[in-house]
Structure 1
């Protein structure tokens, strides 16, 4: 158990947080224990929940810069470690890799179905959580995973939409750098990631889509607009935030000084974190002022960005 007071660029992180890990979640036919980390404010009640799905190769120990800000903003954040984490050493050529996308979704279902038991590992937290305000958030591959809980499906190689993996507990979500449609996949993606064929037409739950104006993926022959498909091809209500100078890790959301960050920018990290929390507070609590306040406060420090809604 870890008790710490976050220190960040704004007074928001003066709120004291608590983090507990690892917590093992019961699963079947996974081969490796599903472990999660929970981060929460030490005070407050009626706390909403974010179940967060990490990007490829990361783990429950990543994304602390944004997770801590979400907890400081009043969320309980649950982070599972998926099978593709580096710590499990399952590479692209491993026969298990082709089905990890399904295991990822099953991981989130296991977390949601066992949420009360997970929160019981932190004394008194279960009674401080609002179980009617649960959300799913993900980055990159994690955005595809979270999107499935919001209603998105996966096309098979013949163009048929797959199963419905939505979860009734999930009221809204946020997709950060969500991969687009599969019609422009590169040869690499076609070989190793044939499941990267999302169908957003059924993703009806409210969601914020965050895209980087300089996020050029090696998985698609399209440009950065590929990462806006989750907004343009899904039914409303949705909101799109495009950060003009943002690349795939948006300034370093996966960790401070992470070697795969190509656009180191702490202000951009704050923008992504606070945009998610402001949007979810608005959807869950009808707090329309949070989003406007966010734009007014960080427009100049975070660089150019624009929003759309439907």
Structure 2
């Protein structure tokens, strides 16, 4: 698919009654074209001050927007940029995404060049790390309650948390990660996991933990396992990020291409992008498996 020039606007404020602070988002989209499918992008946490906000994930955001998607990325309440104490961030994160969905009129009003160009029937959610947890809840996974959003048609989980097998630190600080239930996550999703993403601060189970959303959820699901990839999946959270332990532009390119193709084919049945991307994936970088049920 050819690239288009990208327009990116931030901050855009989305109505969120009762929220501790304003809900601000970045909106990135191609400068031309109509009927744009929407990606809601949920950031992770991490050590940097601004990657866990609307200012992160430029390598993915720019790539998707240049290829026809409108990408909307909020700053969640647990972002390091806000310095807030949030006891139920896992819940407020899903609420943020629902506010964004409900606030599409406000977003189009704030970005006039986007008005009338969004396809609200073709919406996907993508999340990295803790954002992957957010995405899994929106797609149907559960902690104690159903936080799914049926208006979201598909998702991509990037280095997302698994189920159980957590460290003492996680049990004390993120107890909601101790008992995930993926059996109700029925929406189509691509799970992307690094084969060296041991995440020892989060889990005692090793890299296989991040593949739980694929193996424990019903189909349709796909799993992209990345050779030698660690938690940053080559550097998806930003350009030249110091905390990326596996910096590899070629690996990032694989994530860019495969996620774009998956979402394109899932949102548009009959589109051949996903099969072509799978066929073109070199074993040097990874492999894909899938299941229908």
| TM-score category of the 2 structures, normalised to the smaller one | over 0.9
Give runs of aligned pairs for residues 182-261 of structure 1, distance below 5 A.
182=164, 184-196=165-177, 197-217=179-199, 218-261=201-244
Q: Is the 8 A contact 2:139 2:187 kept in 1?
A: yes
The equivalences for 1:169-180 within 5 A come to: 169-180=151-162
Partners of 1:208 and 1:279 within 8 A in 2: yes
Work out the CA distance in 2 between the residues paired with 1:108 and 1:238.
22
Report the CA distance between 1:248 and its aligned residue.
0.5
Which residue does the alignment assign to 1:74?
A: 68
After alignment, is 219-228 or 120-129 more displaced? 120-129
1:89-147: CA deviations, max 9, x gaps?
23xxxxx3321111111111100111222122222423111111011110000011011
Name the structure 2 match of 1:127. 116
Partner in structure 1 of residue 276 of structure 2: 293
CA distance in 1, matches of 2:94, 2:147: 7
RMSD across aligned positions (CA): 1.5
**How much has 1:44 moved relative to structure 2?**
1.0
Tell me whether 230-239 or 282-291 shows the greater mean CA deviation.
282-291
Flag structure 1 segments of 5+ consecutive residues without an equivalent. Answer: 1-10, 91-95, 155-161
Moved more, 290-299 or 131-140: 290-299
Query: Given the alignment, which residue of 137, 141, 146 partners 1:164?
Result: 146
**2:100 corresponds to which residue?**
111
Unaligned runs of 5+ in 2: 47-51
Aligned length: 284
Shift of residue 27, structure 1, vs aligned partner: 1.4
- 1:206, 1:237 within 8 Å by CA — same for their partners in 2? yes
Q: Which residue among 37, 50, 55 is the counterpart of 2:44?
A: 55
1:159 — aligned with what?
none
Moved over 4 A (4+): none
Q: TM-score, with normalisation over the residues of structure 1?
A: 0.88
> After alignment, is 55-64 or 282-291 more displaced?
282-291
Structure 1 residue 296 displacement after superposition: 4.5
C-alpha distance in structure 1 between counterparts of 2:211 and 2:154, whole Å: 18
Answer whether contact 1:66 1:270 (CA < 8 A) is retained: no
Q: Distance in 2 between matches of 1:306 and 1:210?
A: 10
The CA distance in 2 between the partners of 1:298 and 1:71, in whole Å, is: 22
Whether 2:78 is the aligned partner of 1:84: answer yes
TM-score w.r.t. the length of structure 2 is 0.93
